[in-house]
Structure 1
């Protein structure tokens, strides 16, 4: 790493090295009572991992759209730094797609999995591959990519991390000031498979149907025949809460 990332006021960085997992470390720090705005990160030669600690003041289900703010924030950040031909789309389950191929993911964890309870903390994590899984055999995984393979080799990962936090803050402020409408409008233009048949597994359950949209808290609306089911965004919570 050539330089430390720079974060907006009220955000503080905690850099890790080696195999240390920022997503797990952020949850530990949050459990120990750290301030909201802690950004834990680990930038290696082949990948960038980071996580942001939030302290929602609303019930869990109403707090979950913070994950959407983080996802859109990443798309905006990479869009501002990458060549114009680089396209970024967001999967509802947290996957990030660059030029149509899988390129990292968002994760989310909270102190509770009760949708009606106000969490003490909520952590959103980012994992982003910078180099190919196997540099000696490019093309062996056509459905997976990395920033290097998509023409983003000149983007310093520290700058991308800084931009992610800045753009995420912009969308959190917009959500708080203007409600969900601007967030929803931005997200719909970036959402992968919206309006298409989807099938995926969460917590051992397989969900299939027509992805018709989201509710006011970005829960997935999945239509199967005449039946429309809601999959709450909190279903994506990771780990033991």
Structure 2
């Protein structure tokens, strides 16, 4: 089922169609002073791909929470549109998994920003593979697509619209309640807790998140913290 031929966004968001990569287009728009709340998407794309431009009012280390927030919003969007039993999990590095297979990712970009400073802008993006790349699922057994997981009635623009709404809801909740609800919900969706992980040059056991959603890795020489800011793409 398709919600609309053109996504409808809440009043605080300004949806605009682009041809090609919405994440790159959002970064370009940010660099020339576009207003926050801009949502970019490619209406002709076979897969879900969307980017949202934000204007943080908090230091870089706090604003980085928008990256896992984008992942939780994506899981919420799939929960609203897909089968209720669809298992969706998140890797700390932004990978999105559906039924255990890699199906997409979330990412975030900022301009070059000093630690402790407020970024001039921040772009978050979300992408999901909707249709399999081939009929031979065994060729890439660790990858999957929504239509291979019982979500054949979900169209890319359905996800674009629903993700944007859930992202906005989560941003409001983060502003009102702080990071605790996001920490709790992301942890409940975490993939690989207690298992092996490689993050920030450290290999070990994934213990969970610190209070700023950094990755705690238990190595042979102790527990290492990999800050969430290391995942931000600097422009």
Give the distance between the partners of 1:178 and 1:159, measured in 2 at CA: 28
Q: Size of the alignment, in residue pairs?
A: 233
Deviation per residue, 1:20-78 (Å, 9 max, x gap): 21111000001111111101111445312111001001111110101121110110010
Give the distance between the partners of 1:194 and 1:96, measured in 2 at CA: 15
Secondary structure, in 3 states, of the residue corresponding to 1:189?
Answer: helix
Instruction: Note the C-alpha offset of 1:10.
Output: 1.2
Contact 1:59 1:119 in 2 (8 A): yes
1:6 correspondence with 2:8: yes
Give the distance between the partners of 2:115 and 2:147, measured in 1 at CA: 39
Contact 2:209 2:216 in 1 (8 A): yes
Contact 1:7 1:165 in 2 (8 A): yes
Give TM-score scaled by structure 2 length.
0.93
Instruction: Note the C-alpha offset of 1:138.
Output: 3.0
Give TM-score scaled by structure 1 length.
0.91
> What RMSD over aligned residues (CA atoms) do the two structures have, in Å?
1.6
Give the distance between the partners of 2:111 and 2:122, measured in 1 at CA: 7
1:108 correspondence with 2:108: yes
Gaps of 5+ in 1: none
Give the distance between the partners of 1:179 and 1:45, measured in 2 at CA: 35
Partner of 1:167: 166
Runs of 4+ in 1 over 3 A off after TM superposition: none
- Check 1:35–1:213 CA distance in 2 against 1; reply closer, same or farther (3 A cut): same
1:24 correspondence with 2:24: yes
Give the distance between the partners of 1:214 and 1:45, measured in 2 at CA: 34
Instruction: Note the C-alpha offset of 1:113.
Output: 4.3
Contact 1:218 1:232 in 2 (8 A): yes
Give the distance between the partners of 1:209 and 1:24, measured in 2 at CA: 33
Partner of 1:191: 190
Give the distance between the partners of 2:212 and 2:17, measured in 1 at CA: 32
Give the distance between the partners of 1:68 and 1:171, measured in 2 at CA: 11
Give the distance between the partners of 1:174 and 1:45, measured in 2 at CA: 30
Pick which of 1-10 and 212-221 moved more: 1-10
Contact 1:113 1:234 in 2 (8 A): no
Pick which of 38-47 and 176-185 moved more: 38-47
Contact 2:49 2:160 in 1 (8 A): no
Give the distance between the partners of 2:113 and 2:141, measured in 1 at CA: 36
